[in-house]
Amino acid sequence: MAGTVSDREKTARRLLTSSAEKFYDPEVDIDWDAPWVDGLRFLPDHRVTLFGTETWARLTPEQRLELGKHEAVSMVSYGIYAEAALMHILLRLVTEGDPATPRTRYTLTEIGDECRHSTMFARFIEKTGIRAYRQPRLAARAMKFISLLPIGPASYGLALLIEEILDRGQREVMIDEDVQPHMRMLTRIHVLEEARHITFARSELVASAERLNRLELTINRFVLAIAANLVAVMLIHPGVYKAVGIRPRDGRKLALDNEHYRKTLAFMAEKLIAFFEESGMLKGRVIRALWHRSKLLPKDAR
């Protein structure tokens, strides 16, 4: 499945061709000057963290829309930080490897994509008039250590943890006619370009795992399982609940205890989990317990 070095170079070459043929420029491909459409959502209702709770039932339609808008802003704010973290790793691939191979050229292309995506996310946030949800100070500090992580299954796994989870949610949003056109176009652009990033990271993860011994592999799985536990808390900033008069702490607890939201998280992680199962990243009792704790693994998964 991993293939030889030349197979991986071939994949990179194919991705380079596809990147040259199909890409968007969010500055021109999104009509930023067009006003929001009255009554349309920023996220589908059933993907808002409190959907299905009694609290949700008590919210007015306007409040529901407002909460969805704040959650969308939180998610794209997280997207910017996650892409910045990813770019730290990608830049190292460029500096540590042979700079002239198709794989390195594709890595540079991917960095270019992420720069455009983050700019697009930032512009979207600006248009909503809501302040970006900043990452916790500790997470900002931890960013420095990402550069120390050896390039391998954990680093590619981390990339997939971000990209595949957002991808699954965005595929649903981009075709939802109840969602604002700006948001739909933003997700469409992201989905198209991320599909290539996902192919690349999957192929590199498998290849890099094959070069490791058992202990190294276990450490990589462990790092990834820890990172998985940060997704649910990083994706939605607790400050979003203030927009509908709920204390941040209470809102987060409601969301994390919400069965429906747990299903949403498992839905977003479904394809990623299938790939991690297949590539052996979820092996081990402690590792699986950590994945269950992350809420990304469905409750009934063993």
Q: Which tokens go with 278?
A: 């297949």
CB closer to Fe ion out of 193 and 246: 193
Backbone angle region of 261, left / alpha / beta, with phi > 0 → left and psi within -120 to 50 → alpha: alpha
Using rule CB under 5 A, residue 117 touches Fe ion:
yes
> Binders of Fe ion among 155-184, rule CB under 5 A?
163
How many other CB atoms are there within 10 angstroms of residue 214's CB atom?
7
Q: Is the Cβ–Cβ distance between 120 and 178 less than 8 Å? A: no
| Paired strand residues for 41 | 179
Q: Measured from the CB of residue 151, what is the shortest distance to Fe ion in angstroms?
A: 16
Q: Measured from the CB of residue 63, what is the shortest distance to Fe ion in angstroms?
A: 30
CB closer to Fe ion out of 118 and 208: 118
Q: Measured from the CB of residue 162, what is the shortest distance to Fe ion in angstroms?
A: 7
Report, in this order, helix, strand and coil percent for the chain, each rounded to 5. 75, 0, 25
How many other CB atoms are there within 10 angstroms of residue 190's CB atom?
27
CB closer to Fe ion out of 71 and 114: 114
Residues 6+ apart with CB under 8 A from 13: 102
Q: Measured from the CB of residue 252, what is the shortest distance to Fe ion in angstroms?
A: 26
Q: Which tokens go with 131?
A: 């302040």
Distance of alpha carbon 8 from the chain centroid: 24
* Residue 100: half-sphere exposure toward Cβ, Cα within 13 Å: 0
- The pattern of x and - marking residues 184 through 223 that bind Fe ion according to CB under 5 A reads ----------x--x--------------------------
CB closer to Fe ion out of 87 and 219: 87
Q: Measured from the CB of residue 293, what is the shortest distance to Fe ion in angstroms?
A: 26
Q: Measured from the CB of residue 110, what is the shortest distance to Fe ion in angstroms?
A: 6
Q: Give CA–CA dist 200/107, Å, rounded.
A: 9
Q: Measured from the CB of residue 107, what is the shortest distance to Fe ion in angstroms?
A: 11
How many residues line the site for Fe ion (CB under 5 A)?
A: 5
> Binders of Fe ion among 43-72, rule CB under 5 A?
none
Q: Is the Cβ–Cβ distance between 56 and 64 less than 8 Å? A: yes
CB closer to Fe ion out of 65 and 234: 234
CB closer to Fe ion out of 205 and 254: 205
CB closer to Fe ion out of 41 and 197: 197
> Amino acid identity, residue 28?
V
Binding window for Fe ion (CB under 5 A); candidates: 30-38, 110-118, 129-137, 178-186: 110-118
User: Residue numbers of the site for Fe ion (CB under 5 A)?
Assistant: 114, 117, 163, 194, 197
